Amino acid sequence: MPALPADAAALDRVVAGLSPAVGDRLPLPRGLDDWLRRVAMAQRRGYVVLLDTMDTAAGLLARGFDDWLRTYRSHARGGPPLADPGSRDLVADVVIEQLRHAAIDAGFVVLAETTQSAWLEELGVAAMVDRGRTLWDERAAIGDLAALEARSVATQAAALTDPADLGGHRVVVLGRGSALIRSRLRRVGIDSRRGGSALPDP
């Protein structure tokens, strides 16, 4: 059946310059535009940091429906999304172009785009791991809770920064209504000189 007019218009925006084939599919989270508008109404100035599984329209078209729409059950992939409906969690990637359009329409400026791995590096995850290893070396013989927590930091950091898994998630920073946003980005781990896109004046 034909797409609803609003959906067709949204899809036309995200595939501009591309040539999708008949039968190609893209995710279209209808609530994204309204959610960002409501955030903008509540936020006069400041920034919004978004983390999710995202890809460009070209990337999603190349990967195909079976890859960008996934199911999970018991922390593992759950099989085809249309099989046994209601028994598993569904996850779909966000189209980066749609997010950009929705953010700009709501009055935000897209300040930076990077990966979760690069974002955590900017936040100092490597130094945190080093401190954890030092504490583990000091308290391993004691084996108390502090030592065990310190040892787990390296394992957790490796999982969160793995570019083939969680570290590959995208981080998008939006700004609104404040000339102070650029300097404050450093507090959330985004440095315009490393990993992220150039930061325009909000």
Please check whether residue 122 is in contact with residue 195, taking contact to mean a CB–CB distance below 8 angstroms. yes
Q: Does residue 154 sit within a domain?
A: yes
Please check whether residue 118 is in contact with residue 194, taking contact to mean a CB–CB distance below 8 angstroms. yes
pLDDT for res 197: 43
Q: Does residue 88 sit within a domain?
A: yes
User: Containing domain of residue 46, as a range?
Assistant: 5-188
For 128-164, the pLDDT digits (tens) are 999 999 998 888 888 889 889 988 999 999 999 999 8
pLDDT along the chain (202 residues), means of 10: 84 93 91 95 91 95 92 86 86 95 94 94 92 89 89 92 92 80 55 44 42
Q: Does residue 103 sit within a domain?
A: yes
Q: Does residue 202 sit within a domain?
A: no
pLDDT for res 82: 81
**CATH code for the domain in which residue 114 is found:** 3.40.50.12710
Number of structural domains in the chain: 1
- Using N-to-C axis directions, what is the helix angle for 125-139 and 116-123, rounded to 10°? 60
Q: Does residue 194 sit within a domain?
A: no
